[in-house]
Chains A and B, each alone.
Chain A
Amino acid sequence: MEKMDKPLTKNIRPDLAFATVADYESTGGYQGLRKAIRELQPKEVQQWVKDSGLRGRGGAGFSTGLKWSLVPMSDSANDSPHPNRYVIVNADEMEPGTFKDRLLMEKDPHQLIEGIILTAYAIQAGAAYIFLRGEYHLAAQRLDNALLEAQSKGYLGEHILNSEFNLKIYLHTSAGRYICGEETALINALEGKRANPRAKPPHPVVSGLWGKPTVVNNVETLCNVPHILNYGVQWFKELALGADTGTKLFGASGRVKRPGLWELPMGIPIREIIEEHAGGMQDGYKLRGFLPGGASTDFLLPEHLDVAADFEAVAQAGSRLGTGTMVILDDQTCPVQMVLNLEEFFAQESCGWCTPCRDGLPWTVTLLRDIINGRGRIEDLDILAGLVRMMGPGNTFCALAPGAMEPLQSALKYFREDFERYMVGNKLLEAD
């Protein structure tokens, strides 16, 4: 079997609109599933994924295998209150600057489906839901077709590959809202409730959809699973360059020469992504900073270009790997306006459940607008810093507001002069 260094995107080729089931099978598709169902117990599949070191690609980077192992697996109806378990695919890709899952679903839908089936097998779930961003029409269409193909091929439905394992996969297109990407808000939305997040504990692995044990994984995360089963744990580990394992879709948007998306080893230096794959900055622009993993991550500066793109290294540099899709800030774009743009999005998308997020984000927006419109006061920067503290991790109900504060807090740290520049000429400032 040919070893490959781009398992996730191998079927994404200029000559192929998208991979059909035949295309997918021709490059080793559904081999991981065959192997798992014929040779491995569910617990063993969990163990393989745990051993592979695969971490969630949705942004938080939690160990996928560990998450699965937290699902109560007792099957006896008498001593278990859980007759059903569920797998949910978080395909509600809404993070500003992020467009990686879309590519995976549009171009190679069977890769995701095989990942779902394997996950469901690993936790012995009877049903899985793909919670898809409503605007992803093409992905919806191709997933729908692919589900029918998989069904007709015996990969889905009753007695999968002649085993005792049954699975139904439902495609649910979301009615919208960024907060649905938060896994518990997603579950509420799927149940037809308001998309407010839920308190944890209990975690979804214990009480998720309809109060049943539920695993929620990101699209890209699940796309890795078939290859881990097919090519093995060691191979998966060796794909990466640093402490993390596997490959990752990295992206770049902003004033770079070639904005785009590339599958690269985990741990690749960020400089390589921006300067080689994205082609460096457009002529006449200099790199001022970048959000390494979507809108809700802290700015990093050019001095951080040699940081390895993996979870630990980026965290040590003061940000988060997040979704791995970078938003580039150039020297001719105002960081304050960029932050305002982001905060307007987050303030709009707050679900309205907890006080700091519901009322703190709009205030943040008001303050930033005041600053940009020349009505700012120097003490507003203290208020903004206070709001950053208020909406810190653990203080709000979910991670939306802390995420929203990450670009703001790093902008206040790195680009304070840009904020202060707006105050020049402001009478209040002169009076000081």
Chain B
Amino acid sequence: MAIIEIDGNHYEAPEGQSLLSVCLSFGLNLPYFCWHPAMGSVGACRQCAIIQYHNAEDKKGRLVMACMTPVADAMRISIDDNQARRFRRENIELLMINHPHDCPVCEEGGECHLQDMTVMSGHTVRRYRGQKRTHANQYLGPFINHEMNRCIACYRCVRFYDDYAGGKDLQVFGMHNNVYFGRFDEGALENEFSGNLVEVCPTGVFTDRTFSARYARKWDLQTAPSICIHCGLGCNTAPGERYGQLRRIVNRYNGDVNGYFLCDRGRFGYDFVNSSERIRKPLLDNRTEITQQAAEQHFRTLFQTAKGVIGIGSPRASLEANFALRALVGEENFFPGFNDTEQTLLSTIFTLLRNGGIHTPSLREVEQADAVLILGEDVTHSAPRLALSLRQSARNAAFELARRMKILPWQDAAVRELKTQTQSPVFIASARATRLDDIATNIFHGSPEDIARLGFVIAHCLDNQAPAPESMSDAEKALATTIAAELKQAKCPLVVSGTSCSSLAVIQAAYNIAKALPSKDKQLTFAVPECNSLGLAIMRGGRLQQAFERINEGLADSVIILENDLYRRAPSQKVDLFLNSAAHVVVIDSLENETAKHAELLLPAATFAESEGTLVNNEVRAQRYFPVYAATEPVHGSWQWLTGAMENPEWHHHDGLTAACADAFPDLAAIEQVAPGADYRFKGSKIPRQPDRYSGRTAMFANINVREPPPPQDLETPFSFSMEGVTAQVPPALLPVIRAPGWNSNQAINQFEEGVEGHLRGGDAGIRLIEASGTLPWFNDIPPAFKAEQGQWRIVLLPHIFGSEELSLHSPPIAERQPGHYALLNPLDAQALGAKNGDQMEISDSTEAPVITLPVQIEKTLPRGLLGLTGVLPKNLQMNNSDHVTLKKVAEETENHPEIYL
């Protein structure tokens, strides 16, 4: 630690850090634009100028850029010096020369870093009299608006998009004061993390297009801490509501999980909450709307008269809702609601994480890995935010080289320059090309069986006690040897796998590799499909097939289905039979779906934005989400419907339910501590969800009723639906809105971190429920090598960020970006079938019955004998990974957009 003097005060700061980052950590107001805590310093904007003194006697000093100056012991600097202040003020004046005076109509207004910095620097009067240069704007797809005239050329957009996120289609064009940040041609931004531009841009060039459609100022949004529900990673979000509509999602910093960034599915997938397909009223027999009281009565009566009730839970519902269902129907009648194969995979994954003795990393820890093997996942599509972290891990070798060359890690351009010399190894084994291939050292394409076999060989190369396949090709062996050698050298190797392949062998092979690794800091992580997949794996329960049998065999006659569309989990014939055999079907869900149509009693469930609950992510981290706004009666949280059906519920409030759930499962014992309960008060008040400048409170519903209605009461959480209360000392992890005096944009986060890019003061949200211990024996169930069979193709379902997840697809912007339906074939297979791109291919099942016709897309990275399926298949069409089908070309390429026939 170094002692430095800033304007006469002494501070302790880590030597070698950039002065800007330490000044911000001390809560000092020093304006900046081009610097970003996750992206380091480049010295472009010249805004963070300070005076550095040569020694104790030096009175004059010289102007330096804080972001480019390393902390050294006994350093003396001044932020307040007049010369520095004048430079910063005049620098803003220059930045503002071409900036339009459109704050009143700009969506960034009120959370604009440029506004904040302008006020902070004191630039008030414009002296420039010339014309402003103007730019044409581009259409960048359904997520992002483009308003280039507002650009102050800080370069953060391209540094994030290209350098950090690996994008290619957003570039800087032109030069001098005519630099232009955009695409070569108009069109949707291709990178899966484009939404972060909204937050990375310090002003209103890139704004949230989905928010524009129903815009409100940041201070007019009601917000609560939330967790993304669109994949298994549990990124922290801050959704904003006004007028009963969910209007946007922004990132909520969590130093362990998502840091500063979200994926586009998580950011733009929220609109299902406002969907016209929402179930808003209790419905009887799919046609009669009934009152809440009638619905509750019906539910209780049905329960009392039923001859055996089973409950099917859901990996997309909270622990509490699932536990309430389990309590209602009894442990033996509870089914977690997974697809059967997935249940096997997830329970195996949980066992590995719990008893396998290998640490599973947070996303922050993923970024520290110095060698990565991805076994059978296209991470960008199955757990998108993880892909962004893996991309950062590839840079660790360059950081290490920089350290040896005495280049400081935050010297962003200099460290990136070393990337041409070295990168940490990343190996990818997948069915076809993935979006991380550009950082891959070696790539293997194979069927899930071959991917698993490669994994077993790698494990065997690392430790000859690990079982090896009886035979393997020289090529496989050579590749495995290379991969094993790199992983063995690494200090912090990471094995990534998951459920995408639907292959137990792939998961087991991943464990064998991790087990065989010599490093004590080795890590193993799995991508899981849903927001509470692991929570439900902890809860356990019977398989869906067993649930079906209970009803079909008459052991029970009624079923309660919690937030689960069974048609996504099992073949439609089976689900049809099951639902038709049940005497009574109760469905609690938020969106209309095929299963809900079969409900005798359909109960409207609150979404994540209107209810509370605890979710367990792929790291086995429990995190709590809170209602952003009160659900409109008679919509209720699922747990409330279920509790209401109980005769003598053990709990009346959510905290009690959480406690009961924690009591029931030792692995969930810590979930009570995930967040404070409803009795939490700070200085006597609950935490306000509305910022202190929230406007129109008394007028916003005056068109309905001129009386000011009392705000809804929140009996379940520590938050109030109000702007009253103190937020100054609330732990940052509980703050609904990140804002500090003078810092209205999300950049204010630096005022709440323990050192920039650190953890939130008072701790990041969430609790890891388990730490790996023990060890498990080698897995030795090695599948035989995949052999393409004449006339037969093995299906591989290809997940997609904008298409694989159920709820986000009900958000129009996401639906617009979903991939088309294609049948992917190896060029040689296509040739053998006489097919070219766009030709219609009829797919028939093992009984030779035609199932679907899809247009062909030739994919040269897909191995022979595999049929890759993209896009969302029709609901009642079940095609599973590993199914075998036959193919027949039925039509030439047509000019019309390809259609699907059933």
Q: What is A's interface to B at a CB cutoff of 8 Å?
A: 81, 177, 191, 194, 198-199, 201-202, 206-207, 210-212, 347-356, 358-363, 366, 370, 383, 386, 390, 394-397
Tell whether B707 is near chain A: CB-to-CB under 8 Å: no
A144 shortest CB reach to chain B, Å: 27
Chain A residues lying within 8 Å of B97, measured Cβ to Cβ, are: 359, 362-363
Cβ of B64: which chain A residues have Cβ within 8 Å of it? 394
Shortest Cβ distance from B33 into A: residue: A355
- With A350-B177, A354-B45, A355-B91 known, 15 other A-B pairs at CB within 8 A are A199-B68, A199-B414, A202-B414, A211-B417, A350-B175, A351-B175, A351-B176, A353-B155, A354-B43, A355-B95, A359-B97, A361-B176, A363-B97, A366-B130, A395-B87
- A102 CB to closest chain B CB, in angstroms? 24
- Whether B63 sits at the interface, judged by CB under 8 Å, is yes
Name the residue on B nearest A83 (C-beta): B421
**Is B153 an interface position by the 8 A CB rule?**
yes
Chain A residues positioned under 8 Å from B43 (CB to CB): 199, 354, 397
User: A397–B44 contact, CB under 8 A?
Assistant: yes
Instruction: Choose from A211, A350, A394 the contact partner of B418 (Cβ within 8 Å).
Output: A211
Contacts A210-B421, A348-B176, A359-B98 given; indicate if A354 touches B46 (C-beta within 8 A).
yes
| B179 CB within 8 Å of chain A | yes
Q: Quick check: is B382 within 8 A (CB to CB) of the other chain?
A: no
Chain A proximity of B132: nearest CB distance (Å): 11
Query: Least Cβ distance of B72 to chain A in Å?
Result: 14
Residue B128, interface by CB 8 Å: yes
Q: Are A207 and B44 in contact (CB under 8 A)?
A: no
With contacts A207-B417, A366-B130 taken as known, whether A81 is within 8 angstroms of B404 at the C-beta atoms is yes
* Contact between B94 and A359, CB atoms less than 8 A apart: yes
Q: Is there an interface contact between B407 and A355, defined as CB atoms closer than 8 Å? A: no
The interface bits of chain B over 669-699 (1 if a CB of A lies within 8 angstroms of the residue's CB, else 0) are: 0000000000000000000000000000000
Q: Nearest chain A CB to B168's CB is how many angstroms away?
A: 14
B127 at the A interface (CB under 8 A): yes
A residues near B419, Cβ cutoff 8 Å: 211
User: In the bound complex, what is the Cα–Cα distance between A363 and B176 (angstroms)?
Assistant: 12
- A356 CB contact (under 8 Å) in B46, B98, B401, B420: B46
Lowest 5 A-B CB distances belong to which pairs?
Answer: A352-B179, A359-B94, A366-B130, A350-B176, A211-B417
In the bound complex, CA of A58 to CA of B509 (Å): 61
Q: Does B711 contact A (CB under 8 A)?
A: no
Determine the distance from Cα of A210 to Cα of B49 in the docked complex, in whole angstroms: 30
- Closest A residue to B400 using CB positions: A81
Query: Is the Cβ of B176 less than 8 Å from the Cβ of A370?
Result: no
Asked, given contacts A210-B420, A211-B417, A352-B179, whether A199 binds B42 with beta carbons under 8 Å apart, the answer is yes
Q: Contact check, B44 vs A363: say whether CB atoms are below 8 A apart.
A: no
Whether a CB of chain A sits under 8 angstroms from the CB of B787 is no
Q: Do the beta carbons of A358 and B176 come within 8 Å of each other? A: yes
- Residues 83 to 132 of chain B near chain A (Cβ within 8 Å): 87, 90-91, 94-95, 97-98, 127-130
Complex Cα–Cα for A386 and B89 (A): 12
Is the C-beta of B704 less than 8 angstroms from some C-beta in chain A? no
Q: Which residues from chain A contact B404 at a C-beta distance below 8 Å?
A: 81
Which B residues lie within 8 Å of A201 (CB)?
407, 411, 414
CB-CB < 8 A to B42: which residues of A? 199
**Nearest CB in chain B: distance from A217 CB, A:** 20
Question: Contact residue range for chain B?
Answer: 35 or more
| A386: chain B residues within 8 A (beta carbon) | 90
Q: A348 CA to B175 CA in the complex, in Å?
A: 8
Whether A212 pairs with B421 at a CB distance below 8 angstroms is: yes
Min CB gap A282→B, angstroms: 35
Is the beta-carbon distance between A207 and B418 smaller than 8 angstroms? yes
B688 nearest CB across to chain A (Å): 38
B178 touches A352 (CB 8 A): yes
Query: Closest B-chain residue to A382, C-beta based?
Result: B127
Residue B777 lies at the interface, judged by CB distance under 8 Å to chain A: no
* Chain A residues within an 8 Å CB radius of B414: 198-199, 201-202, 207
Known: A199-B413, A350-B177. A363 touches B98 (CB 8 A): no
Contact status of A394 and B63, CB under 8 A, knowing A210-B421, A359-B95: yes
**A390 proximity list for chain B (CB < 8 A):** 87, 90-91, 94
Chain A, Cβ-Cβ closest to B94: A359
Q: Does B405 contact A (CB under 8 A)?
A: yes
Bound-state Cα–Cα, A243 to B643, Å: 94
CB distance from B64 to the nearest CB of A (A): 7
Residues of A within 8 A of B90 (CB): 386, 390
Given known contacts A199-B42, A199-B414, A353-B155, is B179 in contact with A358 (CB within 8 Å)?
yes
Interchain CB contact under 8 A, A355 and B45 = yes
Contact with A along B306-330 (1 / 0, CB 8 A): 0000000000000000000000000
Which of B98, B172, B414 has the most chain A CB atoms closer than 10 A to its own CB?
Answer: B414
A362 and B176 in contact, given A207-B418, A355-B153, A397-B46 (Cβ under 8 angstroms): yes
28 A-B residue pairs with CB within 8 Å? A81-B421, A177-B175, A198-B413, A199-B43, A199-B411, A202-B406, A207-B414, A207-B418, A210-B421, A211-B419, A211-B420, A348-B176, A350-B177, A352-B172, A352-B176, A355-B91, A358-B179, A359-B97, A360-B94, A362-B176, A363-B97, A363-B128, A363-B130, A390-B87, A390-B94, A394-B63, A395-B87, A396-B46
- Which residues on A sit within 8 Å (CB–CB) of B128? 363, 366
Given contacts A81-B404, A366-B128, A390-B91, A358 and B418 within 8 Å (CB-CB): no
CA distance A396 to B43 in the complex (A): 9
| Alpha-carbon distance A351/B179, docked complex (angstroms) | 9
Per the 8 Å Cβ criterion, residues 492-549 of B in contact with A are none
Q: Flag B162-176 by CB within 8 Å of A: 1 or 0 each.
A: 000000000010111
Q: Which among B44, B174, B405 is the interface contact of A354 at CB below 8 angstroms? A: B44
Q: Please give, as numbers and ranges, the residues of chain B lying within 8 Å of A352 by CB-CB distance.
A: 153, 172, 174-179
Minimum CB–CB distance from B258 to chain A (whole Å) comes to 29
Contact B127 A355 (CB under 8 A): no
Give the chain B neighbours of A366 by CB distance below 8 A.
128-130
Q: Closest chain A residue to B95 by CB distance?
A: A355
Which of B45, B46, B97, B418 gathers the greatest number of chain A CB atoms within 10 Å? B46
**Alpha-carbon separation in the docked complex, A394 to B46 (Å):** 10
Instruction: Indicate the member of B127, B176, B420 with the most A CB atoms within 10 Å.
Output: B176
User: A348 to B176, alpha carbons, bound, how many Å?
Assistant: 6
A386 to B127, CA, bound (A): 12
Q: Is B652 among interface residues, defined by CB-CB distance under 8 A?
A: no
B226 contacts partner chain A, Cβ-Cβ < 8 Å: no
In whole angstroms, how far apart are the Cα atoms of A394 and B68 in the complex?
12
Question: What is the bound-complex CA distance between A25 and B860, given in angstroms?
Answer: 57
* Residues from chain B with Cβ under 8 Å of A363 in the complex: 94, 97, 128, 130
- Considering the chains assembled together, what is the distance between the CA atoms of A355 and B90 in angstroms? 10
In the complex, chain B residues whose CB is within 8 Å of the CB of A198: 413-414, 417
Q: Residues 722-746 of chain B: 1 if any A CB is under 8 Å from the residue's CB, otherwise 0?
A: 0000000000000000000000000
Is the Cβ of B127 less than 8 Å from the Cβ of A383? yes
With an 8 A cutoff between CB atoms, is B47 at the interface? yes
Least CB distance, A101 to chain B, in whole angstroms? 24
How many angstroms from the CA of A201 to the CA of B406 in the assembled complex?
A: 10
Closest to B64 in A: A394
Q: Nearest CB to that of A82 among chain B residues?
A: B405
Chain B nearest CB from A76 CB (Å) reads 14
- B62: interface (CB < 8 Å): yes
Query: Which residue of A has the minimal Cβ distance to B408?
Result: A201
A362 to B405, CA, bound (A): 38
Shortest beta-carbon distance, A94 to chain B, in Å? 14
Q: Which residue of B lies closest to A370 (CB)?
A: B129
Separation of A361 and B177 alpha carbons in the complex (Å): 9
Which residues B396-427 have CB closer than 8 A to chain A?
Answer: 401, 404-407, 411, 413-414, 417-421
A211 vs B423: C-alpha distance when bound (angstroms)? 13
- Contact A194:B172 (CB < 8 A) given known A359-B97, A359-B98, A395-B87: yes
Taken together as a complex, chains A and B put the C-alpha atoms of A357 and B493 apart, in Å, by: 45
Cross-chain contact B44 with A353 (CB below 8 angstroms):
yes
Of B44, B175, B401, B421, most buried by chain A (CB within 10 Å of CB) is B175
Once the chains bind, are A207 and B129 in contact (CB under 8 Å)? no
Q: A201-B407, A354-B44 given as contacts; is B177 within 8 A of A362 (CB)? A: yes
